[in-house]
A and B are shown apart, each in its own frame.
Chain A
């Protein structure tokens, strides 16, 4: 393909707003007010946005990193990070699959990722752009017809400032926690979704369609608003391993569900976990929170976490509306030297609110993981109900699993149930499968997938199949 045509494609994509308007600039490492002003200016943001960022920054300066999680990592030097860098230019990226790490390709193969997608995921310059243009065009038209807004957060700040201003930071305030404050000051990428009243989004929205390069933003900010009686299913991430130069990721996701709205948010996270000693892996410190603002609204989080060196993540629901529903279904898998401290918070505020938590943790190798969950029932949450089930499965004897359930019940009419189990992958289950001719690795994946069934069935169909394959790849070599 001639480079001219190439250029056209790229430009067309820009017009559609799928690429942020960055020239090839990078600011030197370090963080101060001028860095933030630079980011805001580069993004063409209005003054209120800059002020909002600066406010967050000033709060952040007064805060200290959290130390309560069951995680170990060296202190992060926030002045050594570059907070704004343009994506790699096409000529700096691999020109064909031949230049890509064969190990990465092997993994794609195992995950059953189609050939043309492999190139995109590996960051190959030509195919990536080529591929996403055709897909995104038809995609955008359909959404436009339905009146659904789905664009980058930067575009939304410019094009739909009233909507953004109305909802941004109303679920996760600027100073909510250390990482959220940092994100509020410097976020550069992320998605914005608005589903108007009474509209059921005609398709599952996926970041995969929006981000055309393999690089994920370091400080992503996502805001999803579902108006009255609206519905949306949003898929974040990708089962393919994501390589990224940035070690620290601190994303913020805010969901707002108005009366009778339903938001289903599914994540498959498979970032680079580091080498065998955990070196080079990604630190994933995420704040995800959903606000069931309207009566009978419902927010459902489903996550499959297999990547990252360190995961710190508690997708939560604020159940404000009467009879609103919060759900959390999670599978967290750690292997090698990975550490994960993850769980959820269900805050029951409104009357008759209900929440369900199903958390499955699988630890293998020398990894360590914790489930940390808070169920809080406020004084006005009459008749609130929670059901929590957390199960841990250990593979081998060098890994660890911990459960930290917190309950604050401020109302005598509430019903709170909690079930927890920890089991080792049973030798007799393995023997039973092997004595039927199934080899050990397949037997382990069969048993583990069975263990995760309750959560996988909450995933959109296609994702569920991918998640199973992903689990098998993650646990490869964990026995024997």
Chain B
């Protein structure tokens, strides 16, 4: 069972991500204040709180439609509640992952890795960003690639997710010296160098919480839970 991504696992992941965003709300805003407009933390928190409210709410669409429907709900919630560029970008991510996941309620690691790759492609397509533009793509892309590579090499789900999170962390940290070429931070030109990208940071939280929760049914593994 530990090799399967379940709908319950995905829901747990989303709650954990929401919690991580809430906990790091000030930190994200602080990062954004340095090179953006100081609202990433509050925007993401607002969005993820709304997400949690929906997936746990009375009108939750989790009963039917599988992982795809759940993630579509997440994506649509984010696009209408986040407000900043993170709204359409994370919205696209979840919509695309959900679309790739389809109606299944359980996904294999390979299926999940493919879905994640689709999500990342969606983000790239939406934001027209490539690697080293100092965006969330710098975190998401290496993470998706690591996940796929781990899946191809026959690693277990937990291990693959850990590797993806590690790649995400590395990618996030690699944004520090970069000069932003997309979004508000690009207005700063060279002065954007020396700051970690807030979007890349929230994306790392996404991958990190995935590693902590998505290998479902094993809450004992969740650190600090």
Are A and B a genuine interacting pair, yes or no? no
Q: Which residues of A contact B (CB under 8 A)?
A: none
